[in-house]
Structure 1
């Protein structure tokens, strides 16, 4: 891994097993003489080592005739059980640990160890709070561009639709209304996807630096994200195309046969598959951006990292989406009420004029801009931190992060 946030591809590092390799390869280890862990706060311990046999647990006094353990040969750390999660904890009850886990190093917004749900959410919010000068301009500009285009699309594409009630609408008018509504929805979604891709690319680089305790500017984030931007667009389009083709295979036969039961069965099978694939490849975006990999390799990396942790990634992703939805509902509801009651009143909702009037559209757009400015960094941050967490758990990425953050002897002296 380099000191930059563009993390190198792990190569032969395992993705679905315990991290391999002797501790001689860890930063700060000379691979030679045994380096015993020193108690916290005692820099002189290494020069005044106690005699063998005194590393018993507190309160446990070994009998006098207890045989002493044989001395470890040179480089004996390679004979010890592999320390979990990058070696910062040592093994339970190991020298100097007393069976407890000392605090992990925290150069940036997260501690360098496996993360809990609260730490992932807190790290995402903490990054937004600490690095808002870089994050807010990105999300604010992109959200503003998206909503300005969306307002004009809704205004001029829906203004020609009949505003009569559903009872008075003819079949032709109903078909035209449905087609126009679907067209507007598709255009809005396409614009949203493009904006989200740009935001995701740039925010991923900012979050990767925030993990190391480093700041990033908007120009630096764009410069680092730009080489992978086309690949990220390709990844997003490929994932969307796969979902559409899967739906066509499962639902289209029933539709062509005019069999409602087959359509329902195909749809019921399609939705769980969409969710499963979405979670399976949810870490492809940070893998693509931070490992500078190709689209196919990013999909493969995400699949390996999520393997065995699908339900955990699913739960955190769903919880984040629920939190984002609640924030959006509160913000949008407030601004929509202002727009409706200030321009046309409650009757504008009943006759449909609120969908095309400038006042409600502008206030609704302002609400969406504010909501997306808050939501997009949190969701992007959770995805990046989930990626980092899975690599720490499977590949000992904390050692590479500590080295990039300038922490010396990390993983060899208890953190």
Structure 2
């Protein structure tokens, strides 16, 4: 026996096989939990988020259910008590409507959609913060109960809410700067020109808001895991996203599309059932004349809660794993995670080959 490998000069034990085994490349990365401890690909991030849901479903679904129920109750109350008698979209369907009426109807629609969107953003940020503990434990392969997750997250909740408030103020400020000039022009006697300026301003503000949202998207995870203050967490997010904006934006956009499709599959049947019990029936759903009755809002709200129980954990899990991935790429966090997980020898082979 011998060979051309480290132990001999011919085929057989210690020969070609030993050479291939000894010099075949670095060993696979350790995987104590839901992700391998190395820079992650898109599929590994999505799989890690779903695996966290499966492995810790009690804590994950408990948090997601609580946030989904609270946010949906807020949406239902706002739609029924605040927006139902304020929003008037009839002018958008009337070909004889004046420009002023169209502008007002457009503003009403944007108001309703904006409030619902902001409530959804609040839910996502809260879910990201509260599920950070669960996901970080899942990375290490450790179990966590709902009580443990709450106990770990509770001290940071005031700062998380403060961060949420700061992000909302920034978002509203951006849209205000984009739309107020057009609204002023429309109010001073030029509704057509004002509407055009307001629409262009809203589009520009949307681009700026998306850019800022991605730059600050990792702030909740930094705040919860690093026990940072609001300003420090936002600066950490900017630092981690810097140079990887398009990659993080693409992953988050794809995640939003995936969970949006899944949520729609769940929500649409509930909307059909709710329309069947409403005054306008299915025809009202098609032409947009369905009345926002309590029955309609409650039935659609149940569908939204079920959809959110899937959407929130995946969205939050992807955000937290993006934070972990960026720190692995920039700060060698995988070595620290390996030590915390009790993995022996992680990174030593790479260090030896480098030396």
Q: TM-score by structure 1 length?
A: 0.69
Paired residue for 2:190? none
The 5 Å alignment of 1:10-409 reads 98=23, 100-157=25-82, 160=85, 166=91, 167=94, 185=113, 188-189=116-117, 191-257=119-185, 260=194, 263=198, 266-344=201-279, 345-349=281-285, 354-409=290-345
Distance in 2 between the 1:276 and 1:161 partners? 32
- 1 or 2, which has the higher helix percentage? 2
Distance in 1 between the 2:205 and 2:235 partners? 22
Conserved in 1, the CA contact under 8 Å of 2:88 and 2:105? Answer: no
TM-superposed CA distance for 1:254, in Å, is 5.0
Q: Deviations over 1:230-288 (max 9, x none)?
A: 21222222222223333444443454456556556544543322222221221111111
Q: Deviations over 1:167-220 (max 9, x none)?
A: 599989989977776665565455444444432221111001000001111111
TM-superposed CA distance for 1:302, in Å, is 1.2
Distance in 2 between the 1:272 and 1:348 partners? 34
Partner SS, residue 106 of structure 1:
coil
TM-superposed CA distance for 1:389, in Å, is 0.5
Distance in 2 between the 1:195 and 1:271 partners? 20
Higher relative contact order (CA 8 A, sep 6+): 1
Are residues 411 and 195 of structure 1, via their aligned partners in 2, closer, same or farther at CA, if it must alter by over 3 Å?
Answer: same
Partner SS, residue 203 of structure 1:
helix
Distance in 2 between the 1:269 and 1:161 partners? 27
Number of residue equivalences? 327
Conserved in 1, the CA contact under 8 Å of 2:89 and 2:109? Answer: no
Distance in 2 between the 1:267 and 1:292 partners? 35
Paired residue for 1:13? none
Partner SS, residue 200 of structure 1:
helix
Are residues 159 and 285 of structure 1, via their aligned partners in 2, closer, same or farther at CA, if it must alter by over 3 Å?
Answer: closer
Are residues 163 and 289 of structure 1, via their aligned partners in 2, closer, same or farther at CA, if it must alter by over 3 Å?
Answer: closer
Partner SS, residue 304 of structure 2:
helix
Partner SS, residue 355 of structure 1:
coil
Distance in 2 between the 1:115 and 1:241 partners? 33
- CA RMSD of superposed structures (Å): 3.5
Partner SS, residue 142 of structure 2:
coil
Structure 1, gaps ≥5 residues long: 1-52, 60-95
Paired residue for 2:14? none
Larger gyration radius, structure 1 or structure 2: 1
Q: TM-score by structure 2 length?
A: 0.79
Q: Deviations over 1:88-122 (max 9, x none)?
A: xxxxxxxx862623211111000001101000000
Conserved in 1, the CA contact under 8 Å of 2:266 and 2:303? Answer: yes
